[in-house]
Structure 1
């Protein structure tokens, strides 16, 4: 290798090391880029009608803010009132749990190993209750950090959305001159993939929210609309989001009538099976081809390296990584690799 090639290799290694050290900042920038691409779908639609980009950007942002405000009003405000009711009903709920345990002890316990009673369970969790103030302080500091990161992402999203071309050109210039045209093509494919994934994710969120709302309304579970909106939003996180979405409606249903909690769990299992085996293959097959195993592996991988935000952005990261691997490794290297005799 020539000296210039060695210097290029050394610069590449140093660059990768620096990127690894600031990976959280890079992930925030990537999150802002994904949001900008998603909102840009609206901007482009308004632009086709003859609207100038500046007006289309602000109109799209207004629509997004309005949707977030409505979602907040539908979810947070009712849940605050419901939480107060839950606190008042908590003693009766504990008594129902105690009665259920007693019922199990009388009818099922003779056939099972000894199960600790409720008092033993309460004694075991007392150390965790004693550490509650320290945990609340840690939660507060974490929340402040998350809020600052959220504000940074919003600012970066607005900056990229208003004028994306300078940032795109700056990224392309990080590559050798002979490969810059190819990088521009790959970035276009990444943007198309993220846009298609955004449309597919929105379709799934609306579908899950509608089915959840109808099912909870039939079961007469309180705050059915709020639970439906929450289920749709949490569906953004595959595998884990649907599991989290069932907790609140099942808890509220249990305090209303114990059989409703079981009915809610069964309802959500049915909805998620319909989504997994019919909706996702049907919608995402026309949007982004990601195998279920790849989706789960991406969630584990990016959560390990980037934490909670990595879990939230696992699918967009997987879409971008898939595009780059297909275009650079397969098309530009392996497909052109000729056997030399």
Structure 2
């Protein structure tokens, strides 16, 4: 390799290292781009009704802040009270119920088998280290809560800046590409914005349907605070494969304290809702919006959670949507397809030249020159 090539190689390695060190900041920037794209889509819908751009942006921001504040007022207080009741009152009742079940079971089995049954004390000894670890993590979380707040404020500020002047930031990003590729990069950005908008609409539809069905099912079973738990189920549906599993834990625990059969009923209701969402709703909605294979979704969640932490896990799906567009347009269309076309043209030229004799080829060339 020449000196210039070595310099370019080291510059590439240093750039990749800097990007890796700034990965959390880049994820926060992508989160701001995602929120700004969502609000920009809403502002465009409002502009179709004759609303000016500044007013439509303000309305979109107002709706976003209203949803954010409503979440904290509707979801957080009921869960705090339910968690306090669960730990102070209901948990001892569950332990007593478990102890009574164990005593009844020991009468039905042999003494040799009964010694393997866990009792309340053994469960307490096993759960206590887990609770201590959880408390330590909670203290660590609260100690870093200032950083979380600052990151949240950074995302909000970046979102406002992107909404105020989206064209300027887009032009600055396009100028990072070589001059011959800037028009193509601008077209790929259009496709990324279109795909993100379609995915956001599909995700919102799925979340809304799951939330409504969960509220109806919990209300029919008589579970306390069905609205808060249904809204939480809809929000956790944003995280496929794992979010629905987390959403069923709290309503099952609360229903178990009321009546054991209700826990099974809650599980059946959530199972039916997820089957409807997975097999009917999501394929139909995403077929109209943007499609992601289930295996690709799961692998993307594992990949981004492993290398980028919880923030990468939450942003795995939109990152996959954008990555899918760039791979299809750059790697497949601009590299692989063009390379295949070039090879086919060379192969056709070789076949034509081999099929002609030297004299025939010379006569054909002279005729073409004369014409």
Using structure 1 for the length normalisation, give the TM-score: 0.93
Match of 2:369 in 1: none
Q: 1:100 to 1:331 in 2, by over 3 A?
A: farther
- Rounded Cα–Cα distance in structure 2 between residues aligned with 1:150 and 1:2: 46
How many Å apart are 1:134 and its aligned residue? 3.5
Report the structure number with the largest CA radius of gyration. Answer: 2
Counterpart mapping for 1:163-182 below 5 A: 163-182=165-184
- Structure 2 unaligned blocks of 5 or more: 348-371
Match of 1:14 in 2: 14
1:161 aligns with one of 119, 142, 163: 163
- Rounded Cα–Cα distance in structure 2 between residues aligned with 1:135 and 1:237: 23
- Rounded Cα–Cα distance in structure 2 between residues aligned with 1:115 and 1:201: 45
**CA deviation map 1:161-202 (0-9, x unaligned):** 111112111111111111111110111100101000000000
Match of 2:197 in 1: 195
How many Å apart are 1:215 and its aligned residue? 0.8
Match of 2:70 in 1: 70
8 Å contact kept, 2:102–2:117? no
- Rounded Cα–Cα distance in structure 1 between residues aligned with 2:304 and 2:98: 38
**CA deviation map 1:49-72 (0-9, x unaligned):** 222222111110101111222232
Q: 1:101 to 1:279 in 2, by over 3 A?
A: farther
- Rounded Cα–Cα distance in structure 1 between residues aligned with 2:135 and 2:13: 44
**CA deviation map 1:116-160 (0-9, x unaligned):** 323112123333445565333212123332222111111111111
SS at match of 1:237: coil
**Larger RCO: 1 or 2 (CA < 8 Å, sep 6+):** 1
How many Å apart are 1:24 and its aligned residue? 0.7
Matched, 1:99 2:100: yes
Q: 1:133 to 1:275 in 2, by over 3 A?
A: closer
SS at match of 2:332: helix
Match of 1:79 in 2: 79
Q: 1:270 to 1:106 in 2, by over 3 A?
A: farther
How many Å apart are 1:326 and its aligned residue? 0.2
- Rounded Cα–Cα distance in structure 1 between residues aligned with 2:283 and 2:146: 39
Q: 1:146 to 1:322 in 2, by over 3 A?
A: same
Q: 1:85 to 1:116 in 2, by over 3 A?
A: closer
SS at match of 2:90: helix
SS at match of 1:116: coil
- Structure 1 unaligned blocks of 5 or more: none
Match of 2:295 in 1: 293
Match of 2:363 in 1: none
- Rounded Cα–Cα distance in structure 1 between residues aligned with 2:131 and 2:81: 24
Matched length = 341
8 Å contact kept, 2:106–2:114? no
Q: For structure 1, which segment, 209-218 or 67-76, has the greater mean C-alpha deviation from structure 2 after superposition?
A: 67-76
- Rounded Cα–Cα distance in structure 2 between residues aligned with 1:297 and 1:10: 31
Q: 1:229 to 1:128 in 2, by over 3 A?
A: closer
1:282 aligns with one of 264, 281, 284: 284
